[in-house]
Amino acid sequence: MTGFPAARLRRLRATPAWRRLTRETRVAPSQLVLPLFVREGATEPVPITSMPGVVQHSLDSLAAEIHRAAEAGVGGVMLFGVPERKDAVGSGATDPEGILNVATRRAVAEAGDTLVVQTDLCLDEFTDHGHCGVLDARGRVDNDATLERYRDMALAQAEAGSQLLGLSGMMDGQTAVTRTALDGAGYGDVALLAYAAKYASAFYGPFREAVQSSLEGDRRTYQLDPANRREGAREAALDVTEGADVVMVKPAMGYLDVLADTAATAPVPVWAYQVSGEYAMIEAAAAHGWIDRERAIDESIMGIVRAGADAVLTYWAVEAAERMTS
Ligand code: PBG
C-alpha cells in the first residue's frame, strides 16, 4: 500500500516541536482582559459562591489584583461596581463618589501605563429593579431616557480616568450618544467598547450574584435573541458607524459563529466575553473531577481566539496568562 494515504496529516503532529511550529493560533497574555468586581464598603474580598475563585474586591484587594494582572502581562482590566445602595435610576453610577468611579480612580493610579483600565457602562448594578436602564410609567425599559443616564455615566467614568468605556446596556444609540457627550466635554481620547452583539443569555447567571442584582424578569426586550446570527453582525456594524473603537460579542462559546462573522467584517478590533456561566461550568465540572481544569480553560480561550477574537475578557485572565509565560 505504498503511497496510501496520500495525505498524512499526522506528520506535523508527531512531536511537541512540530506541533509548536505548525500551530495556527497563538494566544498571548496581552490579549486577555480581567473583569473585576469592587464592592462598596468592603474591607476584605468577599467570595462569590457561584464563581469559585472570583471575589468582590475591596479597594485595597483591587489594587493588589491589578498589580498581579500587570505582572502577568494581562492587557487590561474591566471594572464593575457593587454599590451598597440601589435606586430606580441607578444614582450611584453617576455619583463621582459612587463605588465604580472611586474604584476607577484607584485602579488608574495603581495601573499607570501597565494595562488599560476599562469600566462597565450599564445601570443594572446600580438599579433596585436590576434592569440596564430606567423604566417608564408602565415598567418598560425606556431607551431614550436611559441614554441620558448613560451620557452622564460616561462623563463620570471619563472624569474618573477610565480609558475604555464598556457599553453593555444594549440600548439603541448608546454608542453615538456617549461618543458625542465625551467629545463635547473634552474627552476625545476616551475609547468606546460597544457590546455590540450581547445576547439574552442564561450564562450570565452567576454574574447576578456577583453584582447582587435583584432582576426580576429578563432582558429580552433589549439584548439579542440567541437565535439571531445576522442581527449580531448588524449590531456590530451599527456600533462601528456610531463610533465604536472596539466591538464585543457576548457570551463567547455559544456564539462563535457570530464572533467569526463579526471578525470577518468589522474594521475595528473584535473582542469576546467569556462570561460568568462559562466560567462556572468549567469550574464546577472540574471540581467534580469530570474534566481536566487547566486544559479545559486553555482550550476554551483558544477556541474563542481561533474563532476570531482579538482579545478575550475572562475571569481566568491572570491564571491563563501565567501559564502562557511559565
Ligand atoms: C451588564 C453586564 C452583564 C454582564 C456584563 N455586563 C449582565 C447582564 O447583561 O445580564 C455579564 C457578565 C458575566 O456574566 O460574566 N452590566
Question: 28-325, superfamily in CATH?
Answer: Aldolase class I (3.20.20.70)
Q: Which of 124, 171, 215 to mutate to test the pocket of ligand 1 (most atoms within 8 A of CB)?
A: 124
Q: How far is the CA of 296 from the centre of ligand 1 (A)?
A: 22
119 pocket-lining for ligand 1 (C-beta < 6 Å) = no
Query: For 247-277, what is each residue's pLDDT tens digit?
Result: 999 999 999 999 999 999 999 999 999 999 9
Alpha carbon of 139 to those of 124, 224, 257: distances in Å?
A: 15, 20, 34
- Mean pLDDT of all residues belonging to the chain: 97
pTM exceeding the 0.95 threshold for the entire prediction: yes
To the nearest 10°, report the CA torsion of 227, 304, 176, 214. 70
Return d(Cα 47, Cα 210) in angstroms, integer: 9
Return d(Cα 301, Cα 272) in angstroms, integer: 10
Q: What percent of the chain has pLDDT over 70?
A: 100
Active-site position among 193, 194, 250, 270: 250
Q: How far is the CA of 176 from the centre of ligand 1 (A)?
A: 21
Confidence of residue 1 (pLDDT cuts 50, 70, 90): low
Q: Which atom of ligand 1 is nearest to the CA of 124?
A: 16
The yes-or-no verdict on residue 307 having pLDDT over 70 is yes
Q: Please work out, in degrees rounded to the nearest 5, the angle formed at the alpha carbon of residue 287 by the alpha carbons of 285 and 290.
A: 45
Q: Which atom of ligand 1 is nearest to the CA of 275?
A: 15
Closest listed residue to residue 153, CA positions, set 184, 129, 120: 120
- Nearest residue (CA) to ligand 1, atom 5: 168
Higher pLDDT, 214 or 28: 28
Q: How far is the CA of 220 from the centre of ligand 1 (A)?
A: 13
Return d(Cα 185, Cα 4) in angstroms, integer: 69
| C-alpha cell belonging to residue 265 | 467584517
Whether 36 contacts 77, CB under 8 Å: yes
Q: Which atom of ligand 1 is nearest to the CA of 201?
A: 10
Closest listed residue to residue 217, CA positions, set 279, 124, 143: 124
Instruction: Identify whether 86 is a catalytic site residue.
Output: no
Domain boundaries, the chain: 28-325
Q: What percent of the chain has pLDDT over 90?
A: 96
Closest listed residue to residue 117, CA positions, set 70, 153, 149, 84: 70
The yes-or-no verdict on residue 40 having pLDDT over 80 is yes
- Nearest residue (CA) to ligand 1, atom 6: 168
Active-site position among 198, 236, 272, 273: 198
207 pocket-lining for ligand 1 (C-beta < 6 Å) = yes
Q: Which residues contact 26 (CB under 8 A, 6 or more apart)?
A: none
Q: Which residues contact 176 (CB under 8 A, 6 or more apart)?
A: 242, 243
275 pocket-lining for ligand 1 (C-beta < 6 Å) = yes
Query: For 96-137, what is each residue's pLDDT tens digit?
Result: 999 999 999 999 999 999 999 999 999 999 999 999 999 999
Q: How far is the CA of 6 from the centre of ligand 1 (A)?
A: 50
154 pocket-lining for ligand 1 (C-beta < 6 Å) = no
